[in-house]
Chains A and B, each alone.
Chain A
Amino acid sequence: DIQMTQSPSSLSASVGDRVTIACRASQGISNYLAWYQQKPGRVPNLLIYAASTLQSGVPSRFSGSGFGTDFTLTISSLQPEDVATYYCQKYNSAPVAFGQGTKVEIK
């Protein structure tokens, strides 16, 4: 099965900073990559699918890129409400797999 590895596991940044989270698949998955945000005490929320397509209602400061094995989630200007854990997910085929998560905090 394909494994998903995120880096870093956690990060701390200042409000307004540009934040980048990486996700690597153990095999190529084309653009079958989604990103989810899980705020503390809340359920996960879909941010991006097809590697770079923003889900309806998601702020434009979030963007995704990548293809094959290497993907990136970028927050262009970090806001206090972006404090959360972010997960990538591969979905080229079942079984689905999530990355281990990246916890984003405000410095």
Chain B
Amino acid sequence: EVLLVQSGGVVVQPGGSVRLSCEASGFNFADYSMHWVRQAPGKGLEWVAVTNWDASSTFYAESVRGRFTISRDNTKNSLHLHMSSLTTEDTAFYYCAKSATHVQWLVLDHWGLGTLVTVSS
């Protein structure tokens, strides 16, 4: 069974930084691209970032480019998102998600339960 276990919710001040984690199990983590997607409370889905299987290729949404960094550790089956220069607009549930296949690397077939990031003073 594919499991994506995410770190707990956090509250961070505007301008601050935080690092989210996602621990994967139930599949060969190193074979799959991994994503972060966010959802502000009561709003729609917004894709954030993707890393390919070995982190040699990463892409970001324009809204977070230059502020967020996606990374992975294939030896620990873990995915991370380092978020900096946070604003209230970044308040959201952040989901890690697994790509469906090597070819369908931008399709998301399993999702974590989400981490609530609240940016507030």
Contact = CB atoms under 8 A, between A and B. Distances in A.
A36 B44 CA distance: 12
B107 A91 contact: yes
Contacts of A34: 107-108
Nearest to A93: B106
Interface residues of B, number: 22
Nearest to B33: A94
B45 interface: yes
Contacts, number: 59
A44 interface: yes
B113 interface: yes
B62 A44 contact: no
Contact of B113 (A36, A43, A45, A55): A43
Interface string B43-63: 011110010000000011110
Given A34-B107, A44-B108, A100-B44, 5 more contacts: A43-B111, A44-B45, A87-B44, A93-B106, A96-B47
